[in-house]
Chains A and B, each alone.
Chain A
Amino acid sequence: MTFSFGNRKQRDILLQAVFLAVILTMLLIAVMTTRRNLEIQGLSVGWSFLNYATGSSIVFSLIDYDLDSSFARALLVGFINTLFLGTISVSLAVLLGTVIGTARLSSHKLVKSIAGVYVQIFRNIPLILQAFFWYAIFVNFPSPRQAIAVQGGFFISNRGIFFPMFNIEAWYLLAAIALFIIGSVISVTVARRTGRGSSLVGILISLALACIIGYAGRLADTPLFDMPQPKGLRFLGGGTMTPELGSAIVAIALFGASYVAEIVRAGFLSIPAGLIEAAHALGLGNWHIFWRIRLPLMIRRILPTMTNQIIWLMKATTIGIAIGFPDYFGVVANSINHSGQTISLIFLLIIGFWAINMTISFTMNAINRALALPGHKK
């Protein structure tokens, strides 16, 4: 088999090979140049620093961490914090955004204009400014000694919001919550797919199972609820939402919701009017049309755009550094400062966010494929 330029297929393969070779060469040269320059500067680049103690504290951590923990551990703390902040704030943004997007199409004048004003305000102010604004509000609550007591053992102060917490080991609590959510989702899907059985039964079974798990993880000899008690400069017991975490969640959720709202609105508007008219002709009520036709069609239409939006919001969690919340980016920045290992740490930063966002995009695409209407699978 001889190679000829006249053969289009062979020519294309050659061109692609040449292109790939050029890209790889450039990458290789970049790596070599970097290495040479680092050697000239006497910089030690490597991964050994990951085992050294950081010597710095992290104010918010979901896993055990102290001064003698290694850099690797600190990065893990930051990574978990980013996942935690991202999961909460992005979920809130999607829920709130869906409600506001729907409200923008309401026939009710007041609801419609409120939603419109909301979107215009929150979409057009930079996220960082909104974060500073909420943080300023959170730190200007009264000090713990004059904390505002709310019904049910809640206290609001400038050191955070203190709330009652189950006396259950964290992992059991997480497992119980996860089980309840997954069980409910499965029972709803099964009930809708088969058209048999009530989803309520499944939800109740999940709830019962979750309660059993929670009960198994109870701390011995304690009441079910751990109430925060004011003591000196702080509150003992209960759970705490620090001002840094609180303002980051509020800022990202409200900001993200305004973008999600517009996507949802576009999704609703893109449904062909014929479908809705057909539903009316069948004599379905407005409520039915919304839940059974408009909402499912809207969700299918906006999934790809929504994937982008969620990934984008995940990256927006990096505003944490500006208001003192130790997210992944914040911990990496601080570690760079302490260890001087800029290149290695930036690389880990990139890998971390890439992994999070690849996971999101993979999951969303799987959902997209699962939901696609027969004949529309792409």
Chain B
Amino acid sequence: MRNALKLALALLSLSAAVPPAAMAAPGDTLKAVQARGALNCTSSDGNFEGFAEVDAQGNWHGLDIDYCRAVATAIFGSDDKLKLIPISWAQRFPSLQSGEIDLVIKASGWLFSRDTELGLQFSMPYFIGVTTFMAHKDLAAKSLADLAGGTVCVAGGTSTEKLVSDYIKEKKYEVKVVTFEKNTEATAAYFANRCDAYAEWGPIVAATRATSGDPESHDILSDALALEGEAIVMRQGDDNWVDIANWVIAAQRIAEENGVTSKNIDEMKANPPNTVVGKLLGVTPGIGTRLGLKDDWAYNVIKKVGNSEEMYNRNFGTESRYKLPRALNSLWNKGGVFYAPVLD
């Protein structure tokens, strides 16, 4: 009897002492990352062509992965302290909120609902694309209008799914949308001819087509849906952390504008052609301390990951297997829409 009472009391005191879930208070993300000695960033639960792909050795590649590497390099001087955590589309925001990861870099569109309801904060977009369709060539379709009565495969729960559904409704097309849990399953179903068309974000469609067994048997349709900007996602309330993400993106663009690449960076540092490059590479102090980083963070990022042009070419452009023209993703002076805030 005594023992039973003791047990009950022990249980009571135990339950009262349950610690609250561990999570960084807002504003402390950088401190937490430095104290932990590792940056937790997103990889994927399947290949997302050009953004996050895993090779035979288990190494991750892609634009999103490179941005994870860039942020890790900015903080630690190299990317060997980067921890990539495989996370599904559905899991990305809950994992961020629970503190399991420090930031989401996973082709995530900047959407009103996410920005307002979920306690999230977005960086400036680092990649933009329009949603497009790919259809089997033997249907001889020019646009979605020619696919009356057909079906489209998409990955569910994505902004693509919403865009495509809206578009079909607006145009009053008689097309059905079939949603799958993963992009991998949606593409597999399309290639198995379960669907007449497959919809995704433009670069993904192009990459999927380029790497399919027979690119010639698939046509990209003329429909171009809303443009969507992909941004780095962070928890709301940590301005310093958002600044770091924004300026990592900005530093690579400033480097590109000024012709600084991973190859010529040491010459540039020894002999800066203008004051901006001097500030960027830490020759003139100031770029690091205001963010809580070292003054050579931008130098390290460009040296090890490259400037914005090198990043694109490595993952989508001339050096990749996709060979996609950069188009809208170029800087403003090369016919694109991207620019950098002023580094003063």
Contacts and interface: CB of A to CB of B under 8 A. Distances in A.
Q: Do A and B assemble together?
A: yes
Interface of A: 5, 11, 15, 18-19, 21-22, 25-26, 29-30, 33, 36-37, 40-44, 49, 55-59, 66-67, 136, 139-140, 143, 158-159, 231-234, 236, 243-244, 321-324, 326, 330, 333-334, 336-340, 342
Nearest to A244: B178
Given A5-B1, A333-B90, A26 B15 contact: yes
B161 A56 contact: yes
A324 B189 contact: yes
Nearest to A136: B192
B194 A158 contact: yes
Secondary structure dominating the interface of A: helix
B259 interface: no
Contacts of A56: 156-157, 161-162, 165, 179
Contacts of A58: 179
A318 to B, nearest CB: 11
A58 B179 CA distance: 8
B165 to A, nearest CB: 4
B151 interface: yes
Given A66-B169, A340-B114, A342-B94, A233 B196 contact: yes
Nearest to B8: A18
A321 B119 CA distance: 28
Nearest to A11: B1
Contacts of A21: 12
Nearest to A30: B18
Contacts of A159: 151, 194
Contacts of A232: 148-149
B176 interface: yes
B235 interface: yes
Contacts of B90: 333, 336-337
Nearest to B180: A324
A340 B147 CA distance: 33
Given A22-B11, A66-B169, A67-B169, A40 B117 contact: no
A338 B193 contact: no
B15 A57 contact: no
A139 B193 contact: yes
Secondary structure dominating the interface of B: mixed
B18 to A, nearest CB: 6
Given A21-B12, A41-B235, A340-B93, 5 more contacts: A56-B179, A57-B168, A136-B192, A233-B149, A340-B117
Interface string B11-46: 110011010110101100000000000000000000
Contact of B119 (A25, A33, A43): A43
B319 interface: no
Nearest to A6: B1
Contact of B181 (A30, A36, A49, A322): A322
A233 B1 contact: no
B317 interface: no
B179 A233 contact: no
Contacts of A336: 90, 157
Contact size range, B: 35 or more
B166 interface: yes
Interface string B99-116: 000000000000001100
A159 B15 CA distance: 55
A33 B192 contact: no
Given A15-B8, A57-B179, A158 B192 contact: yes
A59 B8 CA distance: 53
A158 B196 CA distance: 11
A36 B139 contact: no
27 contacts: A5-B1, A11-B1, A19-B8, A21-B12, A26-B18, A40-B23, A41-B97, A43-B119, A55-B165, A57-B165, A59-B178, A140-B192, A233-B148, A233-B196, A234-B149, A322-B181, A324-B189, A333-B157, A333-B181, A334-B156, A336-B157, A337-B89, A339-B117, A340-B113, A340-B114, A340-B117, A342-B94
A58 B237 CA distance: 36
Interface string B168-208: 11000000111111000100010011101000000000000
B110 to A, nearest CB: 14
Contacts of B177: 57, 59
A32 B242 CA distance: 30
Given A33-B20, A41-B23, A322-B181, A334 B4 contact: no
Contacts of B56: none
A326 B12 contact: no
B313 interface: no
A336 to B, nearest CB: 6
A322 B118 contact: no
B5 interface: yes
Contacts of B148: 232-233
Given A41-B235, A56-B165, A139 B192 contact: yes
B278 interface: no
B180 A233 contact: no
A56 B154 CA distance: 11
Most buried by A among B166, B194, B196: B194
Contacts of B158: 337
A29 B119 contact: no
A338 B157 contact: yes
Given A140-B192, A324-B185, A340-B118, A233 B150 contact: yes
